[in-house]
Structure 1
Amino acid sequence: MATASASLTVPASADRVWNLIGGFDSLPDWLPYIPTSTLSEGGRVRHLANPDGDAIVERLEAFDQAGRTYTYSILQAPFPVTGYRSTLRVVELDHGARIDWSGAFTPVGVSDEAASALFEGIYRDGLRALQATLAG
């Protein structure tokens, strides 16, 4: 199993960050790579599309409002992995917040290193987009 992670510290309150990213359907609010999101199954499954029109379907596995964290799995996506499970977490700091995004998965047809680099890039780019949204 391979892993990937990225973190970002921002000068915004954890509550402000969580209010922006904590909704399972909120990716289009801060992540330009995901322009649309539609929920199904009572809000536990999100149907996403990337700019190329590729379908990405993810299931909410765990949600903790007080802990500002949720975990999700990928049911369908154009990525060379299976068994993908990821957690997005917002941690309160004295003068801001830290956002941690991490995942574990089994690569298919690519090396562990290549799969990890792919998702580290996705997480890093996503956190940069979040930083820009918070600054705007």
Structure 2
Amino acid sequence: MMKRMIVSAALSAAVATPALALEVTKSAMIAAPPATVWKTIGTFCGIGDWHPAVETCALSEKGGKKVRTLSLKGGGTILEEEQSRDDRKMAYTYTILESPLPVSGYTSTIMVAPEGSGSKVTWSGSFQAKGAPDAKAQEVIGGVYEGGLKGLSEKAK
């Protein structure tokens, strides 16, 4: 009887425990002053000007928050909501509301900081894998960040 109770309690605890968040962080050094890089990142919909996977970005509002709809080259859309923005600290945080990416519970921050005579841009996110193994979800998000950082580096001069 005691063994059955212990097994039952362990199973209940496992079911009640939320999945651990996966994390991805990518950084790039850009040979431009932080203010120039932040200006290149631009408004919440500015990603349409520098991320190579984004065809267009349409900005709207929902419940007083900025929402962007990213139309991707090759098809697909991503709907994201800005959670916070600090132009003085050169950072913003957003969440994905809808997307074809293999993630759920996605929250991400992109920030710019001085580094030597240039800038360091750091893009980090946390999420759970959805419909794919953890490693695949991390690979996909890492690719999104790397492509974006490369595009940003080419535009920010």
TM-score by length of 2: 0.81
Instruction: Tell me the SS of whatever aligns to 1:25.
Output: helix
Once the two structures are superposed, residues 75-105 of structure 1 have per-residue CA deviations (whole angstroms, 9 ceiling, x without a partner) of 0110111100000000012310000001000
After superposition, residues 48-127 of structure 1 pair within 5 angstroms as 48-127=70-149
Instruction: Tell me the SS of whatever aligns to 2:48.
Output: helix
Instruction: Tell me the SS of whatever aligns to 2:131.
Output: coil
Instruction: Tell me the SS of whatever aligns to 2:140.
Output: helix
Question: Structure 1 residue 4 and structure 2 residue 24: aligned?
Answer: yes
Instruction: Tell me the SS of whatever aligns to 2:84.
Output: strand
Bigger mean CA offset, 110-119 vs 57-66: 110-119
> What is the letter of the counterpart of residue 16 of structure 1?
T
How many positions carry a matched residue from both structures? Answer: 135
Match of 2:37 in 1: 17
Structure 2 runs not aligned, ≥5 long: 1-20
Match of 1:32 in 2: 52
TM-score by length of 1: 0.93
Once the two structures are superposed, residues 25-80 of structure 1 have per-residue CA deviations (whole angstroms, 9 ceiling, x without a partner) of 10121112112111111661001100122111000001001000000000011011
Instruction: Tell me the SS of whatever aligns to 2:52.
Output: coil
The Cα RMSD (Å) is: 1.3
Instruction: Tell me the SS of whatever aligns to 1:120.
Output: helix
Please identify which structure carries the higher helix content. 2
Runs of 4+ in 1 over 2 A off after TM superposition: none
State whether residues 60 and 70 of structure 1, in contact with CA within 8 Å, keep that contact through their aligned partners in structure 2: yes
Identity percentage of aligned residues: 36
Bigger mean CA offset, 42-51 vs 53-62: 42-51
> What is the letter of the counterpart of residue 146 of structure 2?
R
> What is the letter of the counterpart of residue 114 of structure 2?
E
> For 2:91 and 2:123, how far apart are their aligned partners in 1?
10
Q: Which has the larger radius of gyration?
A: 2
Structure 1 runs not aligned, ≥5 long: none
Instruction: Tell me the SS of whatever aligns to 1:124.
Output: helix
State whether residues 52 and 147 of structure 2, in contact with CA within 8 Å, keep that contact through their aligned partners in structure 1: no
